[in-house]
């Protein structure tokens, strides 16, 4: 119970820090960076649900991110829809595309699934890049409006946008938390463990994989729509493979299949690459080896590593406790035996 | 209750099971005896729907189940307790048991009753309910695997080598428990190498060699059969 309380306290402190951040950091650049990081985190949570908890590595998620972003842009600018209607429609449209991609892609497994989705992601990139009349092609897509006011709430200032994105992030984390500790979440984990075993328990793996994939696409498209309304300029490169591998790096560094992973990984990697900015592209010379070392020594990422360390410590403590109990019992037994013997010998 | 008729299964061009026919009657324990590689596990996987047979029929209470997907077969009440004690090692004992009740996930009261039943059958599981399944001993893991299969309230329980890798004393307990499960109304199909222990609780047995049945009969008949004694019991 105490552990749970401590965790809740930590969580409250973290949320408080996130809320106070723009009030104490006067530098607008940092607020901007933080907002962007939150958007990446939402996308990475989407990826984490499917790759981390269900065990299927999708490499199409940058594509879905881009579809969400472009759909918002096209619906607001070209179709003139009200912002929030377009926002919801962008997410739903991307999710629908996710259903169709999932229906085909999920007929493959393991590496083949990864390769197939990599191709899907690249095709999405090509479509955005070449479909000039709809997406603006390489010139990009400009003039996307900032989020429209909701009653008295206005999202015109960077701080207000920061809070809007933070709100969505918290909702996503909350949903993920509820999901992972529910039967549905355990069903996904069961599929990750062994699809065959899941089947022999009566789990329809296809249905569950599709549901997980679609929900994961939904989160990522939400991030894409937020990105479009925050940056307000889109280029086809947001669908490119390098964005996909950024997501994957955040997830792997933070810890794949953990709840804290996306937050930890995204913050750490964005912060590090900011600090190494002065090295320009040479920073990859530092980054590459660090990442390699991390994967070798902490294959479960930072959050995953900590969880395992704690579990090991807990186990050690339990064994110690049991040993102490056993020796105490032994001592008590021998004491009793001795006293009985003394009593007999009188 | 469970009828397997003229089933053949292939892995590519290799015929793993050839024209196998047998049946398990309601309330019985039937045992499939056979050495490693005889095809027992393949047969189980075929009954569970993980492999599609190239020929033959599998019927439960007269209805064909061989064309159903595995999850629907579990829904019909044919449940396999996988060989090798496959559990979810990082989930707790309790969570593993809940996963077993997946097909009844809407029936909360029923799940509570099944859980109570499994805990009564294997008291150690109640004691360890919050520990990760991976931390259990081999015997306890086997109990959890059987308990998890029972959570789906099977009509026919398929047990694939429940005694493999267990200490003799634990094996004895395990067979006593299997007998108890059967007496409480579950029909059981057991695959075993440990012929003596298996036949001592079974009603009927089939001897499996190279993918086909070479002998069959009641448990007493097989125990008295010289060839069976020589091959599987020793002496």
Domain shared by A54 and A123, yes or no: yes
**Domain co-membership, A337 together with A272:** no
Q: CB distance from B49 to chain A under 8 Å?
A: yes
The enclosing domain of A131 has a CATH number of 1.10.3470
Closest CA to A224 of A66, A118, A104, A111: A66
Residue for token pair 């190498």: B193
Residue A332 to residue A128: CA distance in whole angstroms: 77
Nearest to B70 among A189, A194, A199 (CB): A199
Q: Note whether B151 and B100 are within 8 A (CB).
A: yes
**Closest Cα in chain A, distance from residue B155 (Å):** 14
Do residues A257 and A295 share a domain?
Answer: yes
Distance between CA atoms of residues B77 and A39, nearest Å: 46
Total tally of structural domains belonging to chain A: 2
The full set of domain ranges for chain B reads 24-37+78-233
The residues that bridge with B207 in the sheet, in sequence order, are B33, B215
- B102 and A193 within 8 Å at the Cβ level: the answer is no
Using the Cβ of A210 and the Cβ atoms of chain B, whether some distance falls under 8 Å is answered with no
Place of tokens 């937050």: A263
Q: Phi and psi for B57 in degrees, rounded to 5?
A: -130, 145
Contact B95 A186 (CB under 8 A): yes
Write out the DSSP string of A123-141. HHHHHHHH-HHHH-GGG-E
Residue A235's SS3 state is coil
The reply to whether A274 and A332 lie within a common domain is no
pLDDT in tens, B8-62: 998 888 888 888 998 999 999 999 988 877 788 889 989 999 989 999 999 999 8
- Record the tokens describing residue A101, joined without a space: 């991609």
Alpha-carbon distance of A112 to A94, in angstroms, equals 23
DSSP letters spanning chain B = -EEEEEEEEEETTEEEEEEEEEEE-TT-EEEEE--TTSSHHHHHHHHTTSS--SEEEEEETTEE-TTS-HHHHHHHTEEEE-TT----TTSBHHHHHHHHTGGGTT-HHHHHHHHHHHHHH-HHHHHTTTSBGGGS-HHHHHHHHHHHHHTT--SEEEEE-TTTT--HHHHHHHHHHHHHHHHTT-EEEEEES-HHHHHHH-SEEEEEETTEEEEEEEHHHHHH-HHHIIIII--
Mutate to test the interface with A, among B71, B89, B147 (most CBs of A within 10 A): B71
Nearest Cα neighbor of B147 from B107, B111, B172 is: B111
Rounded distance between C-alpha atoms, residue A90 and residue A75, angstroms: 8
Distance between CA atoms of A114 and A60, rounded to whole angstroms?
A: 8
Nearest to A197 among B69, B82, B95 (CB): B82
Looking at the domain assignment, is residue A121 inside a domain? yes
Does residue A233 share a domain with residue A193?
yes
Is residue A12 situated within a structural domain? no
Distance CA A69, CA A90 (A): 8
| Minimal Cβ distance to B99: which of A190, A204, A205 | A190
Q: What is the pLDDT along chain A (346 residues), one digit of tens a residue?
A: 566 778 888 889 999 988 888 888 878 888 999 999 999 999 999 999 999 999 999 999 999 999 999 999 999 998 989 999 999 999 999 999 999 999 999 999 889 999 999 999 999 999 999 998 888 888 888 888 889 888 888 888 888 999 999 999 999 999 999 999 999 999 999 999 989 899 999 999 999 999 999 999 999 999 999 999 999 899 999 999 989 999 999 999 999 999 999 999 999 988 888 888 777 778 778 888 888 888 888 888 888 888 888 878 877 777 787 777 777 777 777 777 777 777 776 5
CA distance A201 to chain B (A): 6
CB nearest to B152's CB, from A187, A202, A315: A202
Taking CB atoms and an 8 Å cutoff, what residues of chain A touch B50? 196, 199-200
What's the CATH superfamily of B24-37+78-233? P-loop containing nucleotide triphosphate hydrolases (3.40.50.300)
For A237, the domain range is 29-299
User: Does residue A3 lie within any of the structural domains?
Assistant: no
Q: Of B141, B41, B50, B49, which is closest to residue B96 (Cα–Cα)?
A: B141
Query: Is A314 found in the same domain as A286?
Result: no
Measured between CB atoms, does A182 come within 8 Å of chain B?
Answer: no
The answer to whether A3 contacts chain B (CB < 8 Å) is no
Nearest C-alpha of chain B: how many angstroms from A185?
11
Please state, in angstroms and rounded to a whole number, the distance separating the CA atoms of residues B145 and A249. Answer: 37
Q: What is the pLDDT of residue A346?
A: 56
Q: Are residues A41 and A119 in the same domain?
A: yes
Residues A208 and A146 in one domain: yes
Alpha-helix runs per DSSP H in A106-254? 110-130, 132-135, 158-180, 183-193, 195-200, 205-231, 241-254
How close A219 comes to chain B (CA, Å)? Answer: 26
Tell me, yes or no, whether A72 and A93 share the same domain: yes
Which residue of A186, A204, A315 is in closest CB contact with B99?
A186
Contact list in A for residue B148 (CB cut-off 8 A) is: 201
Check CB contact of A2 with chain B, cutoff 8 Å.
no
For chain B, say whether A197 makes contact (Cβ under 8 Å): yes
CA separation for the pair B235, B229 (Å, rounded): 6
Q: Indicate if A343 and A250 belong to the same structural domain.
A: no
**Could you say which of B74, B86, B95 has the minimum Cβ distance to residue A194?**
B86
Burial class (CB in 10 A: 0-12, 13-18, 19+), A55: buried
Pick from A194, A200, A315: CB nearest B80: A200
Mutate to test the interface with A, among B70, B96, B127 (most CBs of A within 10 A): B70
pLDDT value at position A210? 96
Residues 6+ apart with CB under 8 A from A192: A53, A54, A55, A257
Task: Write down the ipTM of this complex.
Answer: 0.86
Tell me: the pLDDT tens digits for B159-215?
988 888 888 888 888 899 999 999 999 999 999 888 888 888 999 999 888 888 888
pLDDT band at B64 (very low <50, low <70, confident <90, very high): very high
A–B CB contacts, 8 A cutoff, strictly below:
55
The residue among B99, B100, B131, B150 with the most chain A CBs within 10 A of its CB, best to mutate, is B99
Task: Indicate whether A167 and A316 sit together in one domain.
Answer: no
The tens digit of pLDDT for each residue in A160-191 reads 999 999 999 999 999 999 999 999 999 999 99
Give B-chain residues touching A187 at CB under 8 angstroms: 99, 102
Residues A38 and A185 in one domain: yes
Residue A23, in any domain of the structure: no
A chain contacts of residue B70, beta-carbon cutoff 8 Å: 199-200, 202
How do residues B123-141 score in pLDDT, each as one tens digit? 999 999 999 998 888 888 9
């Amino acid at each position: 119970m105490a552990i749970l309380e401590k965790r809740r306290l930590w969580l409250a402190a973290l949320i408080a820090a996130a809320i106070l951040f723009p009030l104490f950091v006067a530098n607008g650049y940092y607020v901007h960076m933080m907002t962007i990081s939150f958007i990446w985190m939402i996308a990475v949570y989407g990826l984490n649900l499917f790759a981390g908890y269900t065990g299927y590595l999708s490499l199409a998620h940058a594509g879905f991110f881009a579809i969400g972003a472009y759909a918002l842009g096209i619906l607001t600018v070209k179709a003139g829809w009200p912002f929030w209607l377009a926002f919801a429609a962008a997410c739903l449209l991307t999710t629908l595309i996710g259903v169709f991609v999932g229906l085909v892609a999920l007929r493959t497994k393991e590496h083949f699934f990864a390769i197939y989705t990599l191709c899907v992601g690249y095709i999405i990139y090509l479509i955005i890049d070449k479909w000039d009349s709809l997406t603006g092609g390489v010139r990009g897509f400009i003039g996307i409006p900032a989020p429209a006011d909701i009653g008295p709430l206005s999202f015109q200032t960077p701080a207000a946008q920061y809070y809007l994105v933070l709100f969505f992030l918290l909702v996503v984390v909350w949903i993920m938390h509820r999901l992972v500790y529910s039967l549905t979440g355990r069903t996904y984990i069961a599929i990750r463990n062994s699809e065959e075993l899941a089947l022999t328990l009566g789990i329809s793996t296809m249905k569950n994989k599709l549901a997980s994939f679609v929900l994961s696409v939904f989160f990522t498209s939400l991030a894409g729509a937020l990105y479009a309304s925050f940056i307000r300029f889109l280029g086809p490169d947001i669908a490119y493979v390098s964005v996909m591998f950024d997501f994957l790096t955040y997830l792997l560094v933070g810890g794949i299949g953990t709840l804290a992973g996306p937050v930890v990984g995204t913050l750490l990697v964005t912060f590090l690459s900011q600090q190494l900015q002065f090295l320009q592209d040479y920073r990859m010379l530092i980054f590459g080896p660090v990442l390699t070392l991390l994967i070798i020594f902490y294959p479960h990422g930072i959050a995953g590593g900590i969880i395992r360390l704690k579990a090991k410590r807990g186990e050690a403590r339990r064994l110690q406790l049991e040993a102490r109990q056993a020796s105490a019992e032994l001592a008590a037994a021998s004491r009793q035996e001795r006293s009985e013997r003394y009593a007999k010998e009188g | 209750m469970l009828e397997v008729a003229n089933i053949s299964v292939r892995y590519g061009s290799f015929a793993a099971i050839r024209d196998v026919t047998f049946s398990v009657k309601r309330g019985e324990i039937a045992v499939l005896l056979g050495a490693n590689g005889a095809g027992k596990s393949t047969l189980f996987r075929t009954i569970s729907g993980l492999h599609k047979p190239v020929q033959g029929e599998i019927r439960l209470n007269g209805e064909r189940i061989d064309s159903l997907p595995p999850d629907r077969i579990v829904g019909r009440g044919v449940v396999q307790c996988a060989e090798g004690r496959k559990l979810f090692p990082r989930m707790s004992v309790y969570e593993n048991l809940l996963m077993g009740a997946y097909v009844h996930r809407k029936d909360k009261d029923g799940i509570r009753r099944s859980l109570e039943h499994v805990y009564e059958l294997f008291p150690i599981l109640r004691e360890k309910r919050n520990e990760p399944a991976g931390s259990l001993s081999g015997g306890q893991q086997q109990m959890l695997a059987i308990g998890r299969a029972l959570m789906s309230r099977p009509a026919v329980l398929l047990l694939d080598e429940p005694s493999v890798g267990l200490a003799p004393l634990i094996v004895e307990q395990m067979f006593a428990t299997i007998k108890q499960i059967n007496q409480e109304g579950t029909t059981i199909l057991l695959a075993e190498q440990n012929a003596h222990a298996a036949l001592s609780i079974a009603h009927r047995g089939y001897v499996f060699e190279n993918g086909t049945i070479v002998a069959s009969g009641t448990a007493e008949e097989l125990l008295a059969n010289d060839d069976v004694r020589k091959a599987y019991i020793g002496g």
